[in-house]
Amino acid sequence: MSHIEIRIYDDELIVWSPSGLPLGLTMEDLFKPHASKLRNKGIAEVFFDTKIIEQWGSGIEKMLNYCKEAGVTEPVLEEYQGFRVIFRKSIFNEEYLQGLGLNGRQIKAAFYVKEKGRITNKDYQQISEVKERLATMELKELVEKGIFEKVGSRGRGTHYIINPAFMPK
């Protein structure tokens, strides 16, 4: 009899089941509404009755939504000598951003945008305590590095958001 393994590393958490996906269920099926294939009906009924689960076949969708709400990278789901889910440490952390060559002000701005959703040149000036010219230069560098995306061409309506291509799925 094999057991589920949970492995914790500095940069990821892996949950592995040696039994793989139930017969007839594909990886693609996991990302759309699908029927559950219960392996242990007794445990499943207890979880359902105690409201730990709300409906059969909703676990993957729930897990992806919780990750999105928490602002962390979606887990990787794969068939590997069974089935495993890999939760990776978000690359959106200070160490990673420093490795991209960002200075402290730019890192502060990146976290500001992650929290608030956007930043203007004026916001950058205020949180970084710099003049407009330096703010413009550093924001431009964040765009050139692919971290920010500029919305608007010039003036008050211009702001910056996290480049969707920068945040891994």
Residue 76, pLDDT score: 85
- Domains of the chain, CATH where assigned: 5-88 (3.30.565.60), 94-162 (1.10.10.10)
The whole-angstrom distance between residue 158's C-alpha and the CA centroid of its chain comes to 26
Return all residues near 107 (Cβ < 8 A) that are at least 6 apart. 94, 97, 98
Return all residues near 61 (Cβ < 8 A) that are at least 6 apart. 31
Residue 1, pLDDT score: 56
Residue 109, pLDDT score: 95
* 101-114: pLDDT as tens digits: 999 999 999 999 98
* 120-133: pLDDT as tens digits: 999 999 999 999 99
Residue 56, pLDDT score: 67
Burial 112-132 (b: 16+ CB within 10 A, else e): bbeeeeebbbebbbeebeeee
- DSSP string for residues in 117-156: S-B-HHHHHHHHT--HHHHHHHHHHHHHTTSEEEESSSST
163 and 148 in contact (C-beta within 8 Å)?
Answer: yes
120 and 159 in contact (C-beta within 8 Å)?
Answer: yes
Residue 152, pLDDT score: 86
169 residues of the chain, pLDDT tens digit each: 568 889 998 778 899 888 877 777 788 877 777 777 777 778 778 888 887 777 666 678 788 888 777 767 778 888 888 888 888 777 677 888 888 899 999 999 999 998 888 999 999 999 999 999 999 999 999 999 989 999 987 777 899 998 877 765 4
Return all residues near 167 (Cβ < 8 A) that are at least 6 apart. 73, 92
Return all residues near 15 (Cβ < 8 A) that are at least 6 apart. 4, 5, 6, 84, 85, 87
Residue 169, pLDDT score: 45
pTM beyond 0.95: no
40 and 52 in contact (C-beta within 8 Å)?
Answer: no
